[in-house]
Structure 1
């Protein structure tokens, strides 16, 4: 009797569980169908989905064909990599136009690469467009609930603290620190030349540029050095590699479905990073640098500490510890990874175009005392500015502008339903001949000689740092760092692409050189 009753209870719970699952799935399915119907009623079409994976099967098939073709044909030639890294988007764009809809599982997406609509979205000031929750959830181990992952009022609160620290007047005060941080790299490269015969050296630069960028963000924002933060940076890089083993954008899986070995390693790395950052925070709190209301110059960690102490956990529904650690974590990562990658692409392009090295070198000699740029000479360095702008056009580290419609929102003539996910492929937008002209796939920095507003038909469609209210807070910091570092390198060295360089852009959260950047350097 007891066994029979027990089995009845088990069966009843199983039936209830299945019924709840079916109801939830049914609700999600109906929501996705409703979003798709609203988009199609506006004339927006796209590939036909299949249940339950939507268009994922077709996406993987297109990707596999591209991989096979690339393996047969060798490394990529030229700057247009979108058809290689994101072939399904290019396939559908050619078939359905600049605006179409597709689905991944039960998620409905809206692809927008029309320059006019992107301009409209750029100018839209609303909190009804936020970061896609399913993407940021996958990045939770790396970003926590930081500014890069949050939406709504909590995002606005964090931006209010962080953004002012990267205003241009603050960034200019960091220039001396940036120049000082670059000196060991220049000496290291001189040492490579001496070690390889004294004339030239064949070196890989991306790892050194990553270390330099890490040093700058650590010292400028957290009052520490790369050596002190080395363990944090190395673990964040490992965490990124594990998280990008699976598609962050299109898989229907979640973090829970990672292979158990990877899942445990991700959790372990997350704990280690959090512990290391909190140790740094505790050391700061106990040191003379933490003086609430004191006269010492405050860096970003100081401000985060003071905000956490003054408002506590109730206001933001996270603990003060999480608030501090998560924002430090995201800034440690985002502050050095994307800038270092952009610098690597700039070096690759300059190595391929030595005439622009000469132009930069001439300006540095003319305007910079002792070959070292400062706040007064920065605005005169036109050539390096144009090179950076063109490099960010061809190789923007962030491949997408991605948004979730948290409420129904109007973008131009399109009514975007609540729950739809919006994607804009930045490198495609940056290579549109209708925006940039017939030479859109060529490296021509001179197109920016009169600024972005005169470089293309739709200036608002130039979005290397994102768009709208969520424009990257660290934009000024990254641009000034790039100008200084590239000017110092070009003033000191001449360089060309190494025969060992393999041009193979890949997508790992950002678009980066898969095999690094290998160059041959000589003293200028």
Structure 2
């Protein structure tokens, strides 16, 4: 019996040792062998990049370069003459581009990132419909971007388009005009009240007002008569966004998403609370048989796609997060930058105001067809999105060896197209590429940018942002009402300090001196 026990102990020890060796070998392959192999395959094609360290890659130097708050770009109360956000915020990437060329490689943890700035290759990447090219796997556990249904073959992207796209086509957005107008009027009335209280001119920090407007629109569209609960949900998602932005590029560190750090614990708790609130509203709406809205349409299509309740719940929750980013935060940030640029360029503010008043012909609010006639306003929005694109990078992962141009990209490599740099490249946009000049869009996007696919504030090609139509209508209507009701200039409090917080935002907000017309 003693001998048998000793034999069992020896076998258990041997199994444990073999298991431990297996784990060590797997980790070594994932953290050392695979990154070196991928880097070697790219180096053999003449693609170079900065040396990286084990586990961290180039994360520390990237975070260090972006940690400083960007101030002093212009005197207080003024906007800069040149809007070179990429050169200021992505100085390290610009340095690498000068040193290694338009295509170079760096590392986020053990993930090899191929940064591409060659127009033809960017076109191939952004227009690729293959499911072998999809959302990077290192984003799978990001509480803000959604988890659970993100898969390695791009299924989530296709599923999301099937669920959301029918409700975000232009004809559906056109039917939301009354809702958008109502929300815009609420915001305009709030400014009127502030101005009256302040005696004719008010110093307003506009950021939260823009968020209130866009949040109101999306909450009413998604949650119908439950829109107040929708506002609570989006407020918590906003808190989650702020929390995730603190991580910088540390998400690339292997296993960092699983570590019980303070940020991760807070994020997990917020994520759980957001999911609970969304599903609670869904249950209440099902029981009360509310009028059908966007959230219920997402639910119905999710059920048709997957009958399992757990999968359906994940789809609904993750799509609500994506609606938040596409229709709420992105719209609010873009409206904020547009108003900053109009405040700093009074001639364009006057041009847009004159156009709005001429098109509306005495009507207090424009209708859908009127918005489509506002060419000057559209040009300003395009130029604002060019200089201050909400999403600064388009990111894809290769799930199978693929070829773009003359480059073979091995499986496991992540590809970046740096939107912020491409949007202001003098070789693409001309010598005034850093200037605010909406006239460049007088003949549309094709007339402003050659090739036109390098203008991509909403992405480009078949994977263009689902919320593009809704965002443009919201922006046009809100800005049209603001310029026709108020004149405004930059406040002496305004400090120009763009910062990347998942989206490209004004670090200290935008302060305007607003006067009722």
Give the structure-2-normalised TM-score. 0.91
Q: In structure 1, what is the Cα distance between the partners aligned to 2:93 and 2:59? A: 12
**C-alpha displacement of 1:334:** 3.3
Contact 1:401–1:467 under 8 Å retained in 2: no
Matched, 1:343 2:335: yes
Matched, 1:478 2:471: yes
Residue 43 to residue 318, structure 1, CA distance change in 2 (3 Å): farther
2:187 aligned residue: 185
Residue 7 to residue 201, structure 1, CA distance change in 2 (3 Å): farther
Matched, 1:304 2:304: no
Q: In structure 2, what is the Cα distance between the partners aligned to 1:130 and 1:282? A: 32
1:109 aligned residue: 113
Pick aligned residue for 1:375 from 368, 387, 390: 368
1:44 aligned residue: 47
Residue 151 to residue 520, structure 1, CA distance change in 2 (3 Å): farther
Partner SS for 1:27: helix
Partner SS for 1:321: helix
1:264 aligned residue: 265
Contact 1:203–1:521 under 8 Å retained in 2: yes
User: Which runs of structure 2 are paired with 1:145-294 in the superposition (5 Å)?
Assistant: 145=148, 152-197=154-199, 199-224=200-225, 226-248=227-249, 251-252=252-253, 254-259=256-261, 261-289=262-290
Q: In structure 2, what is the Cα distance between the partners aligned to 1:122 and 1:251? A: 23
Q: In structure 1, what is the Cα distance between the partners aligned to 2:87 and 2:276? A: 41
Q: Deviations over 1:325-350 (max 9, x none)?
A: 22223313432011100111101101
1:295 aligned residue: none
Partner SS for 2:240: helix
Matched, 1:502 2:502: no
Q: In structure 2, what is the Cα distance between the partners aligned to 1:258 and 1:244? A: 17
**C-alpha displacement of 1:318:** 4.8
Matched, 1:99 2:92: no
Contact 2:144–2:321 under 8 Å retained in 1: no
Contact 2:343–2:488 under 8 Å retained in 1: yes
Matched, 1:511 2:472: no
Q: In structure 1, what is the Cα distance between the partners aligned to 2:483 and 2:449? A: 28
Q: Deviations over 1:24-82 (max 9, x none)?
A: 12322322222222212221111122334333344345456xx3996899989442122
2:137 aligned residue: 133
User: Which runs of structure 2 are paired with 1:461-472 in the superposition (5 Å)?
Assistant: 461-472=454-465
Residue 249 to residue 313, structure 1, CA distance change in 2 (3 Å): farther
2:90 aligned residue: 86
Q: In structure 1, what is the Cα distance between the partners aligned to 2:476 and 2:201? A: 24
**C-alpha displacement of 1:204:** 0.5
Q: Deviations over 1:169-225 (max 9, x none)?
A: 11111112101111111111011111111x200010010110110111121233246
**C-alpha displacement of 1:110:** 0.3
**C-alpha displacement of 1:9:** 8.0
1:356 aligned residue: 348
**C-alpha displacement of 1:469:** 2.7
**C-alpha displacement of 1:158:** 2.5
Q: Deviations over 1:231-267 (max 9, x none)?
A: 21221111112222112466415222252x3333222
**C-alpha displacement of 1:502:** 1.0
Residue 276 to residue 56, structure 1, CA distance change in 2 (3 Å): closer
Q: In structure 2, what is the Cα distance between the partners aligned to 1:51 and 1:273? A: 36
Contact 1:112–1:423 under 8 Å retained in 2: yes
> RMSD value over aligned CA atoms?
2.8
Residue 418 to residue 384, structure 1, CA distance change in 2 (3 Å): same
Matched, 1:459 2:461: no
Q: In structure 1, what is the Cα distance between the partners aligned to 2:119 and 2:314? A: 39
Q: In structure 1, what is the Cα distance between the partners aligned to 2:149 and 2:470? A: 19
Give the structure-1-normalised TM-score. 0.90
Partner SS for 2:289: coil
Contact 1:59–1:88 under 8 Å retained in 2: yes
Q: In structure 1, what is the Cα distance between the partners aligned to 2:371 and 2:12? A: 72
Pick aligned residue for 1:328 from 288, 300, 320: 320
1:120 aligned residue: 124
Q: How many residues align?
A: 509
Residue 311 to residue 382, structure 1, CA distance change in 2 (3 Å): closer
**C-alpha displacement of 1:402:** 0.3
1:293 aligned residue: none
**C-alpha displacement of 1:13:** 6.4
Partner SS for 1:140: coil
Contact 1:143–1:329 under 8 Å retained in 2: yes
Partner SS for 1:243: helix
User: Which runs of structure 2 are paired with 1:423-442 in the superposition (5 Å)?
Assistant: 423-442=416-435
Partner SS for 1:120: helix
Q: In structure 1, what is the Cα distance between the partners aligned to 2:417 and 2:24? A: 33
Q: In structure 2, what is the Cα distance between the partners aligned to 1:63 and 1:288? A: 49
Contact 1:46–1:96 under 8 Å retained in 2: yes
Contact 2:143–2:271 under 8 Å retained in 1: no
Moved more, 68-77 or 369-378: 68-77
Matched, 1:54 2:57: yes
Partner SS for 1:275: helix
Contact 1:115–1:435 under 8 Å retained in 2: no
Partner SS for 1:257: coil
Partner SS for 1:255: coil
Unaligned 5+ segments in structure 1 are: 291-297
Q: In structure 1, what is the Cα distance between the partners aligned to 2:304 and 2:441? A: 45
Residue 299 to residue 412, structure 1, CA distance change in 2 (3 Å): farther
**C-alpha displacement of 1:155:** 2.6
Q: In structure 2, what is the Cα distance between the partners aligned to 1:63 and 1:388? A: 27
